[in-house]
């Protein structure tokens, strides 16, 4: 049985491919990266803020500030404040033209551009409201941690998680899907090389899985329908957090001659927030296992060379 221990960092490995699959071995940068939230300002102008801190390796960080709160929890989708910084000693310092911040022991202290302290934010770990959701009566349970036998190419880690690169043996028409996934911590990687996989409905239409924590929220990032639709908001949690997709998928319709008469459609909730709302799927995803057609299709979890893990999958 494969072990996730083999996926942990090796001193001589290509740094961009280094992938940590558990927090205990992820290093000091992992402890700093993540989400921070709280209130800033004086008595008359106090406001909730959220900050996402993204590790870039070797003690370097990008960060994004969100007035109103974190994405999905108060931010209105407009203003964002990009920040950069690094760790020196035990303190991480972030700076921008609007002010600065220091992070120490899970607390972020914010100062204005004049150097005045305006408040503190605390590191928080969010959980999806649908995490651990139980399948309803009559659901098809594809994976519950006991066996990978419901998937072609199914492989389990030694701690009972499903590995990437599998296709369900059973096929489906229209359905509702619940899927839980965990992205690896890959601080030196970026773009499509950072925690990449994908969930293909009927083996045809991909909802991207990617460590896009703190990024713009594009169709090739988490919550995006690849090449078709950007997510309404980037709800990607930090790597090594368990995340959820809850998908309502309506299959395309075809006439007796095999001509498509109605596009497939999809609604996606990422970590409990609707990021795709009844989106029309005008074409299959490039390199999808199956072409468009009237036949039922499988659930396919892409292998993109990164150790993405899955659990609690049902239709």
Q: What token pair was written down for 157?
A: 């880690």
Q: Where are the domains of the chain?
A: 33-124, 141-314
Mean pLDDT of 302-310: 96
Please report which confidence band the pLDDT of residue 8 belongs to, taking 50, 70 and 90 as the band edges. very low
- Domain 33-124 - what CATH class? mainly beta
User: Model confidence over 121-144: pLDDT tens digits?
Assistant: 999 999 999 999 999 999 999 999
Selection from 18, 5, 71, 59 nearest residue 194 by Cα: 18
| 141-314 CATH, one of 3.40.50.2300, 1.10.357.10, 2.40.37.10, 2.60.120.560 | 2.60.120.560
Q: What token pair was written down for 277?
A: 């709302």
The pLDDT value given to residue 4: 57
H-type alpha helices, the chain: 28-32
Work out the percent of the chain whose per-residue pLDDT is above 70. Answer: 96
User: pTM for the complete prediction?
Assistant: 0.93
Selection from 175, 143, 61, 95 nearest residue 309 by Cα: 143
Mean pLDDT of 285-293: 93
Please report which confidence band the pLDDT of residue 92 belongs to, taking 50, 70 and 90 as the band edges. very high
Selection from 187, 179, 286, 178 nearest residue 228 by Cα: 286
Least confident of 4-8, 46-50, 235-239: 4-8
Residue 10 sits at the vertex; the CA angle it makes with 8 and 14, to the nearest 5 degrees, is 105
Three-class secondary structure of residue 5 per DSSP: helix
- Report whether pLDDT(9) > 50: no
How far apart CA 185 and CA 240 sit, in angstroms, is 6
How far apart CA 198 and CA 10 sit, in angstroms, is 26
The pLDDT value given to residue 13: 53
Q: What token pair was written down for 147?
A: 């066996």
Q: What token pair was written down for 36?
A: 């921070």
Count the helix, strand and coil residues of the chain and give each as a percent rounded to the nearest 5. Answer: 5, 40, 50
Please report which confidence band the pLDDT of residue 280 belongs to, taking 50, 70 and 90 as the band edges. very high
- Report whether pLDDT(3) > 80: no
CA 211 remoteness from chain centre:
5
How far apart CA 24 and CA 276 sit, in angstroms, is 34
The pLDDT value given to residue 73: 97
Mean pLDDT of 102-116: 95
Sign of CA dihedral 6, 8, 12, 16: positive
Q: Count CA within 13 A, CB hemisphere, residue 45.
A: 5
Burial label, 195 (beta-carbon count in 10 A; 0-12, 13-18, 19+): buried
Contact 54, 60 (CB under 8 A): no
């Amino acid at each position: 049985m494969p072990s996730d221990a083999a996926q942990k960092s090796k001193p001589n490995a290509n740094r961009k491919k280094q992938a940590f699959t558990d927090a205990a071995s992820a290093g000091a940068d992992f402890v700093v990266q993540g989400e921070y939230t709280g209130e800033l300002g004086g008595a008359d102008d106090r406001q909730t803020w959220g900050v996402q801190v993204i590790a870039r390796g070797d003690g370097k960080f990008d960060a994004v500030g969100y007035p109103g709160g974190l994405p999905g929890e108060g931010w209105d989708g407009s203003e964002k404040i990009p920040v950069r910084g690094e760790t020196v000693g035990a303190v991480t310092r972030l700076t921008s033209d609007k002010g600065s911040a220091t992070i120490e022991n899970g607390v972020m202290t914010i100062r204005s551009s004049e150097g005045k302290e305006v408040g503190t934010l605390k590191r928080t770990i969010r959980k999806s409201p649908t995490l651990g959701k139980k399948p309803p009566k009559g659901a098809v349970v594809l994976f519950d941690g006991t066996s990978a036998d419901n998937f072609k190419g199914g492989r389990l880690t030694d701690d009972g998680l499903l590995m990437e690169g599998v296709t369900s043996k059973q096929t489906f028409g229209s359905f509702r899907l619940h899927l839980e996934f965990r992205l690896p911590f890959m601080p030196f990687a970026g773009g499509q090389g950072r925690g990449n996989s994908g969930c293909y409905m009927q083996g045809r239409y991909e909802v991207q899985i990617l460590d896009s924590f703190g990024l713009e929220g594009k169709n090739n990032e988490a919550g995006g329908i690849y090449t078709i639709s950007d997510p309404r908001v980037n709800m990607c949690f930090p790597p090594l957090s368990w995340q959820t997709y809850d998908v309502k998928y309506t299959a395309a319709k075809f006439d007796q001659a095999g001509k498509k008469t109605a596009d497939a459609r999809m609604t996606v909730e990422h970590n409990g927030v609707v990021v795709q709302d009844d989106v029309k799927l005008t074409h299959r995803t490039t390199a999808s296992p199956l072409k468009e057609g009237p036949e039922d299709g499988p659930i396919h979890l892409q292998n993109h060379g990164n150790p993405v893990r899955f659990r609690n999958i049902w239709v």
